[in-house]
Structures are given as structure tokens and as C-alpha cells.
Amino acid sequence: MATCLISLGANIGHREQAIEQAISAINACSDVSACHCSSFFETIAAGGPADQPRFINAVARFETSLKPAEVLKKLFQVEKQLGRTRQQIWESRVLDLDLLLYDHKIQNDSNLILPHPRMILRRFVLEPACEIAADLTHPQTKWTLQQHLDHLNRSAKYICVAGPTTAQRMAALEQLQADVDNPQISILRNSPSPLTLADQQAAIKTALAATTNMVIADFCPREILASAPEQLARVEQLEHAVGVPRLIVLLDNPNDPTFHSLLDAMMPQGTVVPWLVVPSDDKKQIARELQAAVIAAV
């Protein structure tokens, strides 16, 4: 039997009732046992069209003999049974069921990504998850879910963007400013010429002192370790002074496993900061992902 973790959300119709009915439908499956659901949490929508109604969110944990694809199919069946029609990402919905974890399975294909790529940056997932599954380990970061929630609570309020050229990062953040009128976001740029580590530390420290917003930097101090691993002690000193970032957004191809080589270089001693990989060739998607990350990780 495999241990599964799923998230449940609804922001239109009878929200609590939809989640309760979904849990009942999952419990009724002969291939599922030991199903436990968290408390319900009410949150604003993270991403998608503006002015959406507030969500009711929960997380459930259960044991199953189904394979991952079969669990996903079952979740889609339950959604359809309760009136969900999937049309647009992050739209308002009668019911949304996501497969977060399936034992320690890692999978990345067009049908299913495991673990769920955004679960570790979403407070509305981690808080209910830690009620019933704080001990479960994320198979990529090797952190427990409680450690991930603790990171959200203790890390500094800035997000680092890493990956392609400075010009591509700047273009993505300009797109973010053009698309989003969000007073929770402050953008920190790398200036016309790349900043030294000392300058990066000073810029982050100054930005954090000047605002209570989430700061998004189009640079990542840890990226220097890909070419100069001997700089690790200096990077750690920087993080000690300003705090570790809430998240690293890596602009790359999520379907190319080689992106892990850059992550390994940036964090040679294991996970220090959770990450989200976003396609580098779509600045609009980068802007949407950054906006959603800011809302979910505050």
C-alpha cells in the first residue's frame, strides 16, 4: 500500500459540502483505506483571474493500492461527479483535487508531476498538511512537511530568480509589473552590470528594511557556486546576515532533468531553500508563477 497526500479546494458553490462529499467519495473507493482529512482553511486565491471568491482548502492522507495514474484518474472522476469542468488553470472551481505526494515517487511527464511542483511554497497546502502528515518527507528536498512550513514562517521575505541571462530575468519581471497591480510585491534588479556578492547582500538588506512586501530579486547569490564553489562560506555569511530566501525560482525547462545539476551546485550540502522550476521561454507564465508564489508563500 502506498501513502498518498492530496489537496482539496473549492471557491464557488457550497465549498465545505463539496470537500466533505469528495472525502466521502474517496473513502468509498475499495482501493483506499485509512483516509484522514485536515481541518478546513479559508484563504484568498493564489493566481488566476483577479477578484476570485475565497477558497476553502484542506488536505487528506490515505493508503491505497492504486498506482499514481489511477489515483489521478479517480480524483478527476470525483471532481466531475461533483460538477467540476476543467477549463483554465487557476480558475474559480466547484472542486479542485490535486495529488501532492505518492510515497517517495518522483515523476515528471505530460500527465502527472510528482511531487506536486508548487506544494512546498503554498501555505494553504502546508498548514493543513502538517495537521495530519507533518512527518511525511518531500522526496526531492528531503525535508519533512513540518520543516517546509517552518521555512515559510522563518525565512526572509524575498524570492531569488535564477537561471538564464539577466536580460531574460529582467524581461520577466517587467512583464510581472505590467500584468500585475499587486502592492505586496517589490522588485529588486541587478543593475546594468552584475552585482558583486557584497552588493547583492547590501541590496537585499536595504530592500527588506524598506518594505514589508515580498521582494523579488532578479539575481540569486547562490548561483555563483555553479562556477565558484569555493565561495560557499561567503554565500552562507550573506544568508546569515539577511536571512535565507523564501524561494528560488529557477528559469529552465522543467522536463529536462539536468536542471538538478544547477540546484546541486547552488546547494552542495543539501536543501537550504525550496525551489520552483518555471519554463524560461515564456515571460507571461513566469510572471503568473511569481505572482502566485508571492500570494501563496506570504
Its CATH class, for the domain covering 2-135, is: alpha beta
What confidence score (pLDDT) does residue 265 get?
94
Same fold, 2-135 and 155-297: no
Helix axis angle for 197-210 and 232-242, nearest 10°, is 10
- Whether the upstream peptide bond of residue 115 has omega within 30° of 0, thus cis, is yes
What confidence score (pLDDT) does residue 282 get?
80
What confidence score (pLDDT) does residue 24 get?
96
C-alpha distances (whole Å) from 90 to each of 7, 55, 95, 119, 145 are 14, 12, 12, 14, 23
Query: What is the architecture of the domain spanning 155-297?
Result: 3-Layer(aba) Sandwich (3.40)
What confidence score (pLDDT) does residue 142 get?
97
Burial of 176 (0-12, 13-18, 19+ CB in 10 A): buried
The DSSP symbol for 125 reads H
**CA–CA separation, 245 and 138 (whole Å):** 19
C-alpha distances (whole Å) from 148 to each of 123, 185, 210 are 9, 22, 26
275 and 249 Cβ atoms separated by less than 8 Å: yes
**CA–CA separation, 195 and 160 (whole Å):** 14
**CA–CA separation, 126 and 297 (whole Å):** 10
Residue ranges of domains in the chain: 2-135, 155-297
**CA–CA separation, 109 and 265 (whole Å):** 25
Residue 51's SS3 state is coil
201 and 241 Cβ atoms separated by less than 8 Å: yes
Q: Nearest to residue 45, comparing CAs of 86, 84, 89, 78?
A: 89
Angle among Cα 221, 126, 6 to the nearest 5 degrees reads 120
- Ramachandran assignment for 12, one of left (phi > 0), alpha (psi -120 to 50 degrees), beta (any other): beta
The gap between the terminal CA atoms of the chain, to the nearest Å, is: 35
Beta pairing class for 113-114 and 107-108: antiparallel
Query: Which amino acid would we find at residue 95?
Result: L
pLDDT tens for the chain, 298 residues: list them.
999 999 999 999 899 999 999 999 999 999 999 999 999 999 988 876 767 899 999 999 999 999 999 999 999 999 999 987 766 665 678 899 999 999 999 998 888 999 999 999 999 999 999 999 999 999 999 999 999 999 999 999 999 999 877 777 888 888 887 776 655 678 887 666 678 899 999 999 999 999 888 999 989 999 999 999 999 999 999 999 999 999 999 988 777 767 788 899 999 999 999 999 988 788 888 888 888 888 888 8
223 and 266 Cβ atoms separated by less than 8 Å: yes
What confidence score (pLDDT) does residue 95 get?
93
What confidence score (pLDDT) does residue 93 get?
82
- Sequence-distant (6+) residues with CB within 8 A of 131 are 38, 39, 59
Backbone angles phi, psi at 238, to 5 degrees: -60, -50
Residue 272's SS3 state is coil
Size of the chain in residues: 298
